[in-house]
Amino acid sequence: VQLQASGGGLVQPGGSLRLSCVASGSTAKLYSVGWFRQAPGEGRKFVSVKSYRDYKTYYADSVKGRFTISRDSAKNMVYLQMNSLKAEDTAVYYCAASPYYSYSDSTDIVKYDYWGQGTQVTVSS
């Protein structure tokens, strides 16, 4: 599975961005695609995932109610709509693919086999 993320940029606090991730490969539809982020000086952290099997969605507490993940299976695309952005959302955002779909597995970074290259999101006035 190959992944490519895009859509990052500079946005003011309170603004919105939509990240996109294209997942290619013959088995891409059998993977849950999630988003992680890494702020300067910190480790990579889970943001959101949409299960490939039952289409359930999971979010980190820090983004609940502000971010929405969606998947267009026909296009092998996964989107992360980010609203009400805050300075603390500033990070490099990565999309990744996992063969797991349960909450405990699909929110665990070590359960992800494939990673995209990352896209920078900067929230600043």
pLDDT tens track for 7-42: 999 999 999 999 999 998 888 888 899 999 999 999
How does DSSP classify residue 84?
A: S
Residue 60 pLDDT? 97
Say whether 74 sits in a helix, a strand or coil.
coil
Backbone angles phi, psi at 65, to 5 degrees: 85, -10
CA distance 1 to 115: 9
Asked if the model's pLDDT at residue 117 lies above 90, the reply is: yes
Tell me the one-letter amino acid at 99: P
Which residue has tokens 């665990």?
108
CA distance 51 to 101: 5
